[in-house]
């Protein structure tokens, strides 16, 4: 089974953002590992074939590659239930590890900004309800300079490399 890791300090509960979410049940320190995404490595073509059956239980790890469940029977042990927020409390270290960006209190929903890992032509409406809500999310939000500054060091490694390359080209 392609299991993911969720800290024992977390629990899946009903979310005001979307469906179910991951919540802190004990306080979490800044920098602490909250979750690690597991799963099958899938090329974009494979993801297209299985996407409807795997309930958004995947994560982008390179431009044309994703990691996650491949079959519905794997979702329960693979999905992290970390919803999007435009004011997240989690960031990404490396490609698959979610860490706390700040101290997190018990009861808080654990969230990350999809801009931290997604590079695609997708667009969707945001339901986070936060003060900094962008209202519309795109798979290219990682290119927004304000987000690059705010989330520096919290993007997936492949996006951190893209951001650094863009800065080098600009001079």
Quick count: other Cβ atoms within 10 Å of Cβ 16? Answer: 10
What's the whole-number mean pLDDT along residues 128-132? 93
Give the residue numbers spanning the domain of 129: 5-170
Quick count: other Cβ atoms within 10 Å of Cβ 61? Answer: 22
Confidence band, pLDDT 50/70/90 cuts, at residue 124: very high
Distance of CA 18 to the CA centre of its chain: 14
Rounded mean pLDDT of the chain?
95
Query: pLDDT tens digits, residue range 144-156?
Result: 999 999 999 999 9
Predicted pLDDT at 54: 86
Closest to 159 measured CA to CA, from 91, 110, 111: 91
Closest to 61 measured CA to CA, from 150, 148, 160: 160
Sequence-separated (6 or more) residues with CB below 8 Å from residue 32: 7, 99, 100
Q: What is the CATH number of the domain that holds 89?
A: 2.170.270.10
Confidence band, pLDDT 50/70/90 cuts, at residue 53: confident
Query: pLDDT tens digits, residue range 59-87?
Result: 999 999 999 999 999 998 999 999 999 99
- Cα–Cα distance measured from residue 53 to residue 34, given in angstroms and rounded to the nearest whole number: 26
What's the whole-number mean pLDDT along residues 79-108? 97
What's the structural domain count of the chain?
1
């Amino acid at each position: 089974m392609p299991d993911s890791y969720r800290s024992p300090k977390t629990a899946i509960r009903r979310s005001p953002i979307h469906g179910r979410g991951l919540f802190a049940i004990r306080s979490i320190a800044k920098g602490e590992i909250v979750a690690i995404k597991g799963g099958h490595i899938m090329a974009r073509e494979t993801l297209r074939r299985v996407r409807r059956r795997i309930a958004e239980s995947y994560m982008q790890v390179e431009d044309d590659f994703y990691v996650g469940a491949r079959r519905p029977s794997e979702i329960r042990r693979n999905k992290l239930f970390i919803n999007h927020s435009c004011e997240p409390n989690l960031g990404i270290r490396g490609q698959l590890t979610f860490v706390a960006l700040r101290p997190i209190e018990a009861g808080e929903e654990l969230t990350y900004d999809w801009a931290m890992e997604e590079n695609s032509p997708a667009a969707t409406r945001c339901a986070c309800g936060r003060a900094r809500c962008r209202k519309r999310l795109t798979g290219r939000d990682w290119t927004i300079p304000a987000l690059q500054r705010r989330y520096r060091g919290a993007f997936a490694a492949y996006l951190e490399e893209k951001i650094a390359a863009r800065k080098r080209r600009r001079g």
